[in-house]
């Protein structure tokens, strides 16, 4: 198994990457029940499926009261990710969430950037930002995310992606947004094949041409699609614990990670929302070995895929690959 502290994870979400201690601190300032550790643990333990997950995520987002809250939160998140086995992290940040909780998205994004910059010095982890559009809020919302990028041009922003309800808008509705993101110099990713099947993965490949896909486990039921992913070298950033906790996969015995690997699809392992799912990136590697039948050789290959998937500089990638023995 690859040594902890040397991994790259390209599929994380900001609010879901906070340590529980930071959630308690924010909740205390906001007068929220999550100031009590047992209340948060109870809410996390009661999570049953995707709707519960989305409600809990939204509850954490609403704990922020001012842009200044995001600087210490970013530092705390980076520290937790480093403790969870990472040297490099790409973290989705959703500016439209800031708008919906009544905050200035530019100020919030700049605060996260500042916190991540400080974290490189204090925790030795390189954190990059993926600007996130929420699919069920539509193409206009996604375009506003890129408008913000044009106003800020923060050096830590390396990519653009999209999460949210896969069944809300067809992928083709965002084709212009993805063309614009690439024209702005951003690499691209997209959530697909999490709660939807292989057609959702095929649609984003045809319409959006992403550099990589988050989740993608729905592709495992379609041999022709897996062959296409392997031939086109599209990396899937798979999050097994997340898949199980949200109900995307019924149980560990049915998780398709091994099937994807055997079909030649390149995959990475990701924690997705570690504080909400009670995991870390290093723990995902242990889980894959102990519960999903993934060999030590395959885990080393997966760790290398994490660095190949990253939207980092060639020098950063080479350094990361050398560290894990590639």
Instruction: Give residues with Cβ within 8 angstroms of 163, minimum separation 6.
Output: 13, 92, 94, 132, 133, 134, 135, 191, 214
pTM equals 0.96
Domains of the chain, earliest start first: 7-323 (3.20.20.140)
Q: What is the mean pLDDT of residues 300-315?
A: 97
Q: What pLDDT is stored for residue 120 in this prediction? A: 85
When pLDDT is cut at 50, 70 and 90, the band that residue 65 belongs to is very high
In the DSSP assignment, the letter for residue 206 is H
Given strand 126-134, what is the order of strands in its sheet? 7-13, 86-93, 126-134, 157-163, 187-192, 212-215, 235-238, 267-269
Looking at the predicted structure, is the pLDDT value of residue 156 above 60? yes
When pLDDT is cut at 50, 70 and 90, the band that residue 123 belongs to is confident
Looking at the predicted structure, is the pLDDT value of residue 3 above 80? no
In the DSSP assignment, the letter for residue 157 is E
Helix (H) / strand (E) containing 277 = helix 274-277
Query: 136, 237, 142: which is closest to 181 by C-alpha?
Result: 142
Looking at the predicted structure, is the pLDDT value of residue 4 above 70? no
The predicted-structure confidence for 244-282, as pLDDT tens digits, reads as follows 999 999 999 999 999 999 999 999 999 999 999 999 999
Chain CA centroid to CA 49, Å: 18
Q: Which is the catalytic residue, given 90, 194, 284, 298?
A: 194
Task: Specify whether 118 is catalytic.
Answer: no
Q: By CB neighbour count within 10 A (0-12 exposed, 13-18 middle, 19+ buried), where does 290 fall? A: exposed
Token pair, residue 176, equals 């212009």
Helix (H) / strand (E) containing 159 = strand 157-163
């Amino acid at each position: 198994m690859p040594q902890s502290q040397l991994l790259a994870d390209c599929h994380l979400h900001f609010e879901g990457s906070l340590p529980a201690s930071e959630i308690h601190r924010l909740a205390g300032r906001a007068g929220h029940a999550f100031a009590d550790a047992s209340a948060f643990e109870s809410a996390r333990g009661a999570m049953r499926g995707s709707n519960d997950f989305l409600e809990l995520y939204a509850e954490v987002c609403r704990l922020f009261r001012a842009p200044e809250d995001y600087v210490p939160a970013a530092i705390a998140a980076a520290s937790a990710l480093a403790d969870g086995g990472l040297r490099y992290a790409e973290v989705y940040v959703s500016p439209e969430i800031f708008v919906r909780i009544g905050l200035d998205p530019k100020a919030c994004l700049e605060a996260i950037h500042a916190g991540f910059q400080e974290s490189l010095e204090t925790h030795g982890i390189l954190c990059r930002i993926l600007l996130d559009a929420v699919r069920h809020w539509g193409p206009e919302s996604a375009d506003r995310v890129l408008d913000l990028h044009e106003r800020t041009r923060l050096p830590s922003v390396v990519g653009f992606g999209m999460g949210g309800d896969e069944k809300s808008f067809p992928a083709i509705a965002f084709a212009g947004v993805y063309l614009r993101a690439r024209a702005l110099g951003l690499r691209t990713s997209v959530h697909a094949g999490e709660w939807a099947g292989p057609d959702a993965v095929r649609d984003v490949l045809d319409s959006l041409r992403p550099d990589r896909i988050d989740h993608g486990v729905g592709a495992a039921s379609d041999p022709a699609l897996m062959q296409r992913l392997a031939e086109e070298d599209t990396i899937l950033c798979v999050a097994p614990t997340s898949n199980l906790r949200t109900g995307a996969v019924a149980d560990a015995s049915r998780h398709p990670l091994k099937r994807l690997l055997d079909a030649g699809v390149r995959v990475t392992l990701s924690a997705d929302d570690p504080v909400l799912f009670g995991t870390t990136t290093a723990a995902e590697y242990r889980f894959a070995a102990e519960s999903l039948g993934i060999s030590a050789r395959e885990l080393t290959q997966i760790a290398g895929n994490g660095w190949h998937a990253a939207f980092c500089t060639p020098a950063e990638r080479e350094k990361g690959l050398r560290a894990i023995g590639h």
